[in-house]
Copies of this chain bind each other. A is one copy, B any other.
Amino acid sequence: MSDLLERLRGRGWRMTAQRRVVAEVLDGDHVHLTADEVHARAVERLPEISRATVYNTLGEMVTLGEVMEVATDGRAKRYDPNAHRPHQHLVCGRCGAIRDVHPAGNPLADLPDTERFGFTISDVEVTYRGICPNCATTA
């Protein structure tokens, strides 16, 4: 259990019941929920929480740099609470399962100057795609 909530408190973030519930729901490892999934789970604990608040709160956590936004499938964005530990993602093309992975090496170093077109590069995002063991057997 990482301590997303503690990190947010430590930054002087104004705390409300809604924000606390969103942070609690999102916390953990290999967690990659969509905004609507976060909302569904938040509603179980705080029935009157609104969709807009969940979207706002997630957006703020991303702006604060405490949560990563991941777009692995061109559908809904997913939210990853492990923003402080750099990692990449491994996605199952059949069931959509996502695992956090830590590749060796630095992909940034692999891009020669001649291929940078004058850009100032700040970040690299790597998505590995394949089939998970569970889907492979249930072919």
Q: Which residues of B contact A90 (CB under 8 A)?
A: 111, 115-117, 119, 121
> Is chain A's interface secondary structure helix, strand, loop, or mixed overall?
mixed
Could you say which interface size class chain A belongs to?
35 or more
Assuming the A-B contacts A71-B74, A111-B103, A112-B104, are A129 and B121 also in contact, with contact meaning beta carbons closer than 8 angstroms in the complex? yes
Number of identical monomers bound together in the oligomeric complex: 2
Given A111-B103, A115-B102, A115-B103, are A120 and B131 also a contact pair (CB < 8 Å)? yes
Which A residues between 38 and 69 are near B, CB-CB below 8 angstroms?
Answer: 69
- Where the two chains meet, the residues of A that have a C-beta atom closer than 8 Å to any C-beta of B are 69, 71, 73-74, 77, 90, 92-93, 99, 101-105, 107-108, 110-112, 115-133, 136
